[in-house]
Amino acid sequence: MKLLSAAASPFVAKAAMALRFAGLDFQIVSVDATNGDPALDEANPLSKIPCLVLDDGTGLFDSRSITRYGDRISGGKLFPVPDPDRMIAERMEALSDGICDCAVGIMYEGRFRPGDIVHQPWIDRLWGKAERGLDEAASDLPPLGADLHAGSIALAATLGYLELRFAGKWENGRDRLVSFAADFAKAHPELAELLPRA
């Protein structure tokens, strides 16, 4: 399998870490999702990453579909059973993805709009959502070690992206999240090497 990717994407990082934790064999292939890439366009009509190209050529997208696929193929390594534990993991994954949606939206607003039309109130609104999401995540941190699940991986990917793009802005008053990120890297170095990078 091939995971069509960009190194800085938190959604790619989440998918890659989940697939690795699930024990699946895949190759990371860098594509240009911003300017267009024929390989990505062929695998995913939405031209979004991550996209997992299965052995039969089927493109599987988005990151949540990929984590669920990895869970099924691995016999349940990514999501605990039964509920409510599975629901807690799915909720943390969704919360983490939502924080990333806001953070990526802020980056795109600044990167792709001319400076004179960047809409600061929209950036402030997105950042407020991200901060509330971070505080919610900090209130009930997911497990590490042997009990790691997709929600834990999603939060680690989110914090890795924030450290890459918003270092010094997200950490204040969130020592539990800072510790979680450090503990994740220490407990799972084979996954941490897949965190977002420039």
Tell me the per-residue pLDDT of 23-48, one tens digit each, with 9 for 90 and over: 999 999 999 999 999 999 999 999 99
Q: What is the pTM of this model?
A: 0.96
Mean pLDDT of 91-113: 96
pLDDT beyond 90 at 115: no
Q: If you average pLDDT over every residue of the chain, what do you get? A: 97
Q: What pLDDT, in 10s, does the model give residues 145-167? A: 999 999 999 999 999 999 999 99
Domain segments of the chain as ranges: 2-73, 85-192
Nearest Cα to 134, choosing from 168, 106, 176?
A: 176
DSSP three-state, residue 33: coil
Per-residue pLDDT, 160: 98
**What Cα–Cα distance (Å) separates residue 105 from each residue in 74, 84, 117, 151, 168?**
33, 31, 15, 21, 18
- The answer to whether residues 4 and 39 touch, using CB atoms and an 8 Å cutoff, is yes
What class has domain 2-73? alpha beta
Report d(CA 59, CA 44) in Å as an integer.
Answer: 6
Q: Cβ–Cβ contacts within 10 Å for residue 57, how many? A: 9
Mean pLDDT of 49-54: 98
- Residue matched to tokens 């919610």: 136
Fold of 85-192: Glutathione S-transferase Yfyf (Class Pi); Chain A, domain 2 (1.20.1050)
